[in-house]
Amino acid sequence: METGSSVSKGVFAYKGKKKSVNPEKYFPKSETVNTWKRRLETYQSLWESVDTEIQILQSDLNTKIFDDLLKFTKTCHSRFTLSSQTGDSRTKEIPTAALVTGVNTPDHGVMFATLVTLLQERVSPLVAILQSKDCNNVKNTLSKLLGQILKNPQLFEDDEDSPEVNQKNLPISLATLADWYDDKYTLNHSSPKKRKSEEGDLVDIQILPPVIMVFEDLESFQPRVLQEFITICSNYLSQLPIVFVFGIATSVSAVHRLLPNAVSSTLCMEKFQAPPSTEYLTLLINQILMTKHCPFKLGSRVFKLLLDIFLYHDFSVLNFIKGLQFSMMDHFLSNPMSQLCCPLEELPNQTKRMNSDELELIRQLPSFMRYVESCSLERQAELLTDDAETKIEVLKLVTEIHTYREEFYPILRCLHTLVSKLPKQPLGKQLREVYATVLGWNMEENEDYQISLDLLKFMSKDELIGLLRGCGSCLGNDLPSSLKDIPVSINSLLDRFDTLHEQVEEDEEETTDSPVIQKTDLHSLKKRLQELEKKKKKLSPYEKLRTECVDYFDSLFRKYLVSPKALPLHELLYYDSASTVRSHLTASPRAAVQLALGSSHTYLRNQTESDNSGTISPDIPDVCIVYKLHMECSQLINLYDWLQAFITVKTSNDEENDDQVKNPDQVLQARFIRAVSELQFLGFVKPTKRKTDHVARLTWGGC
């Protein structure tokens, strides 16, 4: 079979049977120690605890978001009744909840799945979620709606006498749903409740569940389909208590862009704003990453990379969580001694189980080697030769890292309180920005930190007192014993600021001679200016106290906010392989496509092409030949010359090569046109108006 015909053939994946996965196959075989079981158990335990905390955080956040929306959907049809043919005459508009979710589209699936679950549990079992990809016309939209509502198992749990619904024999229309709803929820099926009418009399009112339709991605719906569907639903308001929930990524004005005034007037919209994804990310970082409970931490480069992907690409917290999970997974996969990245209470047991080979890997860590070099010669010999002493030292050093974290995060929040409101925010406005800076730099090495201190020394009394009180409140009561004295010192500074007005200033007034007009030369003027420069201005009591306050916090930050890179054995608990994370999370499709087109033998395992270096083999796919030929052209490519070169390559093994070039086969012409179309689809060439028989090249450089 000719190679070119393979382009038109489909590729179908066969899932096959599920097989049990052996985790041992995925761990590197070149490791000298066999610790994969302990590492796998530690990873699974850690990620399970982190994932549980994430789920709790997400559940609490969603509850706050959806409380008002659930209340709206529950009460908007509270007076709906099926007792008459006309229903509630006051319901002339469809109650619509416009939920503004933000542009973080990868998170919308999880958000709306949670919303549907809450609506089914607390409001009504009649909930359908509609997506634009499934609703390209009104018939498909109605089919999806009826399919989700009529197949809901909760509808028939308490009603054994009702016949089984067969959707295939029912017409796809809202009349079907209205008839079924009338049969299901008539006044005889449940006990009515008493409610006062407008005249003051008690009447029987049955609370009926609304039919809730959730449009997950409203902006992606076709306007014509949406308009017709809303118009149809508005005609059935007397028979069905319909409620819309619009998922809007941009703003409510998108509804008016999609719907004309005649259709939008049938909606009674109320706006519900979901908090931005940046707030969710801040909660995630503050309550999960920046705590002492999880021993695994991200290094400065990986943390900044995940933040950049979030802020500049997708705004997806879900993708940030996936990046965190991949980082943890790769840490335990690539680090042979990562089983020591465990909770503090499990650390002694993990240390005792270490053998000589594992201890040798510990000794080869760069941070441990630097620590050994700083010890005395006798201690160096013990740490390098005695396994028992090495175990004791490893346990001590890893415990110190856990203690360092207990002191690190309260002082970090104190630093953020002081610098977040400075002009231009040299260290950043958000806590995550300050955290990323401190992870990569020591305080004395950071220029932005020095700028922040200089700005603090120019603050007014009221501003500085407010910052001190903020530092005292952010520290809280749950502090380690080494930090118990800090709130006391802050309160002492505040007391001194309060009594500052009672201090007597001892100002020495500078006596200035009255100006005398006299002749002077350049040398004497220079000498006089130098003497004036040497005289220092005396600081006021407030300036002295302000300088003392800033120096006190400076000493705290230099002592406790040390970069984890300076700690011995930080490689066991911190993951900082940014290149690995970038290669897996931020794909480069253009580079992959160029590699596949330029070196197809690596994919097709065609040894003939690899042997013919410098020439184009006629056995490779047509699109690869066209790609290699276009790489030899300038910005504009003549299609006829390109075709002639293509035919020359394809017929290089034929004896009648010249005849084929002069009178090309129509099959070869069709294959060439198809290959050029594929290259245009991939974004390498485009048509140009400069010359009708040319195409413009969109890329530069070799393959």
CB 77, CB 241: distance < 8 Å: yes
Dihedral sign computed on CA atoms, order 443, 449, 451, 453: negative
Task: Classify residue 524: in a domain, yes or no.
Answer: no
Note the pLDDT of residue 366.
93
For position 142, which CATH number holds? 3.40.50.300
CB 245, CB 215: distance < 8 Å: yes
Note the pLDDT of residue 4.
42
Same domain, 133 and 221: yes
Specify the residue for token string 């002749």.
Answer: 519
Least confident of 71-75, 579-583, 688-692: 688-692
Note the pLDDT of residue 609.
56
Task: Classify residue 548: in a domain, yes or no.
Answer: yes
Instruction: Examine the pLDDT at 393 and tell me if it is beyond 70.
Output: yes
What is the tens place of the pLDDT at every residue in 426-436?
A: 998 999 999 99
Between strands 297-298 and 211-215, the pairing is unpaired
Q: What is the DSSP letter of 312?
A: I
Note the pLDDT of residue 368.
94
Same domain, 494 and 631: no
Note the pLDDT of residue 689.
82
Q: Round to whole Å and give the CA distance between 338 and 527.
A: 68
- Kindly state the percentage of the chain with pLDDT values over 70: 81
Q: Round to whole Å and give the CA distance between 143 and 450.
A: 65
Q: H/E element holding 122?
A: helix 108-122
- Rounded mean pLDDT, 643-670: 76
Q: What are phi and psi of 44, to 5 degrees?
A: -60, -40
Q: Round to whole Å and give the CA distance between 588 and 595.
A: 11
Longest dimension (CA), the chain: 119
Instruction: Examine the pLDDT at 169 and tell me if it is beyond 50.
Output: yes
Q: Which of 113, 172, 123, 125 is nearest to 149 (CA)?
A: 125
Q: How far is CA 51 from the centre of its chain?
A: 15
Task: Classify residue 194: in a domain, yes or no.
Answer: no
Structure tokens at 313: 């690409």
What is the tens place of the pLDDT at every residue in 587-624?
A: 788 888 888 888 888 787 765 555 556 678 888 889 99
For position 664, which CATH number holds? 1.10.10
Note the pLDDT of residue 405.
92
Specify the residue for token string 């300038």.
Answer: 634
Q: Count the helices and strands in the chain (H runs, E runs).
A: 29, 12
DSSP lists the bridge partners of residue 575 as 298
Same domain, 478 and 616: no
Neighbours of 418 (CB within 10 A): 24
Dihedral Cα 471, 477, 483, 485, nearest 10 deg: 80
| Helix intervals (H) in 32-137 | 36-75, 108-122
Instruction: Examine the pLDDT at 302 and tell me if it is beyond 90.
Output: yes
Q: H/E element holding 468?
A: helix 461-475
pLDDT class of 699 with cuts at 50, 70, 90: confident
Instruction: Examine the pLDDT at 156 and tell me if it is beyond 50.
Output: no
pLDDT class of 315 with cuts at 50, 70, 90: confident
Instruction: Examine the pLDDT at 385 and tell me if it is beyond 70.
Output: yes
What is the tens place of the pLDDT at every residue in 495-505?
A: 988 887 766 45
Same domain, 604 and 545: no
Q: Which residue type does 520 have?
A: T
Note the pLDDT of residue 203.
44
pLDDT class of 7 with cuts at 50, 70, 90: very low
Note the pLDDT of residue 159.
45
Q: Which of 251, 275, 299 is the last residue of a domain?
A: 275
Q: Round to whole Å and give the CA distance between 334 and 439.
A: 22
Note the pLDDT of residue 20.
64
Mean pLDDT of the chain: 82
Could you give the 3-state DSSP secondary structure of residue 327?
Answer: helix
Task: Classify residue 48: in a domain, yes or no.
Answer: no
CB 573, CB 401: distance < 8 Å: yes
Same domain, 558 and 596: no
Q: Round to whole Å and give the CA distance between 699 and 637.
A: 12
Note the pLDDT of residue 6.
40
Task: Classify residue 563: in a domain, yes or no.
Answer: yes
Note the pLDDT of residue 230.
93
Between strands 574-575 and 297-298, the pairing is parallel
Tell me how many domains the chain contains. 3
Instruction: Examine the pLDDT at 276 and tell me if it is beyond 90.
Output: no
Same domain, 139 and 222: yes
What is the tens place of the pLDDT at every residue in 15-65?
A: 556 666 676 676 766 565 778 888 999 999 999 999 999 988 888 887 778
Q: What are phi and psi of 135, to 5 degrees?
A: -125, 60
DSSP lists the bridge partners of residue 212 as 127, 243
Its domain, for residue 257, covers: 92-150+208-275
> What is the 3 state secondary structure string of 184-248?
HCCCCCCCCEEEECCCCCEEEECCCCCEEEEECCHHHCCHHHHHHHHHHHHCCCCCCCEEEEEEE
Task: Classify residue 60: in a domain, yes or no.
Answer: no
Task: Classify residue 227: in a domain, yes or no.
Answer: yes
Per the model's pLDDT, the better-predicted residue between 211 and 535 turns out to be 211
Q: Round to whole Å and give the CA distance between 492 and 543.
A: 17
Q: Which residue type does 143 have?
A: S
Question: How far from 325 is each of 48, 303, 329, 375, CA to CA, in Å?
Answer: 11, 13, 6, 37
- Rounded mean pLDDT, 159-181: 67
Note the pLDDT of residue 674.
94
pLDDT class of 634 with cuts at 50, 70, 90: confident
End-to-end Cα spacing for the chain: 28
Most confident of 197-211, 298-312, 504-518: 298-312
Q: Round to whole Å and give the CA distance between 644 and 518.
A: 97
- Rounded mean pLDDT, 615-644: 88
Between strands 694-697 and 685-687, the pairing is antiparallel
Between strands 574-575 and 202-205, the pairing is unpaired
Q: Which of 243, 275, 307 is the last residue of a domain?
A: 275
Instruction: Examine the pLDDT at 509 and tell me if it is beyond 60.
Output: no
Note the pLDDT of residue 1.
38
| Helix intervals (H) in 235-365 | 253-258, 261-264, 277-284, 300-309, 317-334, 347-352, 356-363
Instruction: Examine the pLDDT at 12 and tell me if it is beyond 70.
Output: no
Task: Classify residue 417: in a domain, yes or no.
Answer: yes
Note the pLDDT of residue 600.
83
DSSP lists the bridge partners of residue 695 as 637, 687
Q: What are phi and psi of 248, to 5 degrees?
A: -115, 125
Same domain, 343 and 330: yes
Instruction: Examine the pLDDT at 85 and tell me if it is beyond 60.
Output: no
Q: What are phi and psi of 194, to 5 degrees?
A: -85, 140
pTM of the model: 0.78
Same domain, 370 and 242: no
Q: How far is CA 13 from the centre of its chain?
A: 30
Q: Which of 258, 275, 292 is the last residue of a domain?
A: 275
Same domain, 552 and 636: no
pLDDT class of 513 with cuts at 50, 70, 90: very low
Q: Which of 299, 391, 296, 365 is nearest to 568 (CA)?
A: 365
pLDDT class of 536 with cuts at 50, 70, 90: low
Same domain, 643 and 597: yes
pLDDT class of 94 with cuts at 50, 70, 90: very high
Q: Round to whole Å and give the CA distance between 401 and 569.
A: 8
Same domain, 336 and 411: yes
Same domain, 402 and 547: yes
pLDDT class of 703 with cuts at 50, 70, 90: very low
